[in-house]
Amino acid sequence: MELELSPRSRQILEAIVEDYIATAEPVGSTSVARRHAMSLSSATVRNVMANLEEMGLLTSPHTSAGRIPTEKAYRFYVDSLVALRQVSRDEKRDIIRRCRKSGAGLNDILKETSRTLSTLSNYMGIVIAPSFGTDVFRHIEFILLAPRKVLAILVSQNGSVQNRLIDAEKDFSQNDLVTMGNYLNELVQGLTIAQARDLILSEMTREKVQYDQLLTQALRISEQAVVLEPDDIYVEGQARILEQPEFSDVSRMRDIFRAFEEKGDLLKLLGQCMVAEGVHIYIGSETPLSRSAGVSLITSRFITGSNTVGMLGVIGPTRMGYSSVIPIVDYTAKMVSRLLGSG
Amino acid sequence: MELELSPRSRQILEAIVEDYIATAEPVGSTSVARRHAMSLSSATVRNVMANLEEMGLLTSPHTSAGRIPTEKAYRFYVDSLVALRQVSRDEKRDIIRRCRKSGAGLNDILKETSRTLSTLSNYMGIVIAPSFGTDVFRHIEFILLAPRKVLAILVSQNGSVQNRLIDAEKDFSQNDLVTMGNYLNELVQGLTIAQARDLILSEMTREKVQYDQLLTQALRISEQAVVLEPDDIYVEGQARILEQPEFSDVSRMRDIFRAFEEKGDLLKLLGQCMVAEGVHIYIGSETPLSRSAGVSLITSRFITGSNTVGMLGVIGPTRMGYSSVIPIVDYTAKMVSRLLGSG
DNA sequence: ATTTAGCACTCTGACACACCGAGTGCTATT
DNA sequence: AATAGCACTCGGTGTGTCAGAGTGCTAAAT
């Protein structure tokens, strides 16, 4: 459904959206006429605004206030009006430096990235780690912490590390555990974690294995180790979003936080953002999470060296600085991909 | 500085504190007289309240409102008035079940614990992981992810796992890495992580090592691996605390969140809570974190199997349900200690 | 000597009212 | 088609009044 709008209408709509984004106050006809000095009288602007309202692009909170953009207007704005800002040199430097600095494991990088997103956008940064299950298995290791208490460590190709504490049924020696580890490493080489899991489960029922005590035990233990957990998700900058005037109403804030505490749901819903390349923008009720909360979501996916895919983005009010946040998300996703991708 | 108070004054103070905790509204003389039917007239109560105010235990927001307790009053309340509630059977079950359930690594247990604390108290739950540096070294492992890209995994005795991505200077084979790992494991056996770090640094300067290429490289790499990071800290339940009426003022909330984003500071400050055994209570300006925010902090430490010590607790408004939160924190700390301690 | 009843006083919060200003819609005019 | 003018609308602010809750003090009662 393409919208037919005269250039002038488009210009006025753009002015209104941007004014509203900047001020969070309903914008009136005079201020549009004045500030965006397009040699039009306020009366003319009013006529146009009336049209735009009829088309469902604007609403007025009450009779004699200015207009505010509807979701539809934001949609139109990001689709065909917005002039994307360049990511500034400073911002680029910041993004790269903070990715590198943390120099530690994958998790640290992702966490820092979500913080970076929040800082640069002034909204909430969010990063979903590449799904562990789909990543290629790299290494498994069993470590004896105490009698019958075994720590299993799984490493995937892109550097994700998961660990689980296992209550063993028997008193293994560390040597036993090493043997078991070697066996398993060989068994599942080259598979994804999920495939490895399936293989282990099916292998357990095979007869010839049954007779080898140690191997059976190895499978038993590893079964506990490769339980698929929901993927990690990093959210930063809750404090920052509290500064937005629309969230001075606390109850709204609560809804959002609630949504984040149900990380499981969130993940499932956001999973769909990961299918396609490029930046995705969800405005208001388009967002997969708690609708009615008046938030927008800008996401992009990133790809790791082993071709697993994660997601990062920014969450803010619908009245969001799209022109600057979109490029930031885009650039960050590319940088993270590059950092994780190249050797 | 022991406060001298007649039994009646104590009783009235207790009534006021508890009323205020329950309602968050200034409490007046009549309601005390009525609700805590101690056969006293409101006038008498008023006299007593005037005394208490003079002693700095109560204040009135304005002339004709009820009184509210001061920090000093809360202090006195928790020191000598409060009747601690028992932890209910349900709560106990909940605490234990949720510790167990997560069955995964140490980090997961601690994270879940902080969530449990938040749920049961209705405030914010906080857990600080046992300091990695002071824990006994258990295992180090190097895994080759890509050429020159080495993942180092450190495991401590109590099951903490840390991993770091290292850019190696040379192209090692996985075999080289295993050899290096073995060497290091032997070298630092039985030391704490911090000691291990020191040993590695000093060993690098020793002459005889200089001639063994591989060993030098091993030390080089491990130097990067054993960088001491600030300890992990888990905070859950920000949404919950927003429901407290005193935080309907958003700016307050922001201050607290800010404090939590500077986790480094927080950690240092809270470190002192860990020195002594038992439950510690910090009221208002006594809290090591952002004073003036009107929050209280109840903490207790827990001990792992390898005798490292962590901290857990609850953060809420000064007007906090001490009678129930204190036992919950106490009990949870004991349970976590037991769970992590016994095999 | 303590407790209580009574009373005058104070302060907040709610409600009503008027007013100002920003903004609109419509109509007549350019 | 664009604009100027005008009547109208509505939210926000400021003022005044009033009821209610609570206090402090004093005098009476126990």
pLDDT score at B272? 64
By C-alpha distance, the chain B residue nearest A224 is B104
Q: Decide if pLDDT at A269 tops 70.
A: no
Q: Which residue has the higher pLDDT, B152 or A248?
A: B152
> From the C1' of D10, which residue's alpha carbon is nearest?
A64
Q: Is the pLDDT of residue B152 over 90?
A: yes
Q: For residue B9, which of B79, B59, B57 has the smallest C-alpha distance?
A: B57
Evaluate if residue B25 carries a pLDDT over 80: yes
A332 and A312 Cβ atoms separated by less than 8 Å: yes
Q: Is A339 near chain B, with CB under 8 Å?
A: no
What's the CA gap between A59 and A53, in Å, rounded? 6
Q: Are B200 and B188 in contact (CB under 8 A)?
A: yes
Mean pLDDT of the A187-212 span: 84
Q: d(Cα B121, Cα B297) in Å, to the nearest integer?
A: 12
Q: Residues A245-270: what's their mean pLDDT?
A: 70
Which residue, among B132, B84, B73, B44, has the nearest Cα to B310 in the 3D structure? B132
Choice between B335 and A265, residue whose per-residue pLDDT is larger: B335
* Residue B274 CB partners (closer than 8 Å, separation 6+): B128, B301, B309, B310, B311
Mean pLDDT on B118-144:
93
Tell me the mean pLDDT in the region B189-193. 93
Confidence of residue B105 (pLDDT cuts 50, 70, 90): confident
User: In a 3-state reduction of DSSP, which class is residue A45?
Assistant: helix
- Band the pLDDT of B39: cuts 50, 70, 90: confident
Q: Integer distance in angstroms from CA A40 to C1' C28?
A: 19
Say if residue A305's pLDDT is above 90: no
Residue contact A343–B103, C-beta within 8 A: no
**CA A20/CA B100 separation, integer angstroms:** 51
Give the mean pLDDT of B106-119.
Answer: 93
Q: Which residues of A touch B116 (CB under 8 A)?
A: none
Poorest-pLDDT segment among A131-140, B67-76, B225-234: B225-234
**Would you call A189 an interface residue with chain B, using a CB distance cutoff of 8 Å?**
no
Lowest mean pLDDT among A233-247, B71-85, B265-279: B265-279
- If one compares A38 and B150, the residue with the highest pLDDT of the two is B150
Mean pLDDT within A69-77: 95
Residue A343: pLDDT over 50:
no
Structural tokens at position A176: 């036993």
Residue A141: which of B141, B162, B242 has the nearest Cβ? B141
- Nucleic acid strand C: bases within 7 A of protein CB: 3-6, 9-12, 21-27
Residue B25, Cα to own-chain centre: how many angstroms?
Answer: 29
pLDDT at B230: 78
Lowest mean pLDDT among A85-99, B1-15, B262-276: B262-276
Asked whether the predicted pLDDT for residue B291 surpasses 60, the reply is no
pLDDT exceeds cutoff 70 at B196 = yes
Min Cα–Cα distance to chain A from B257, Å: 5
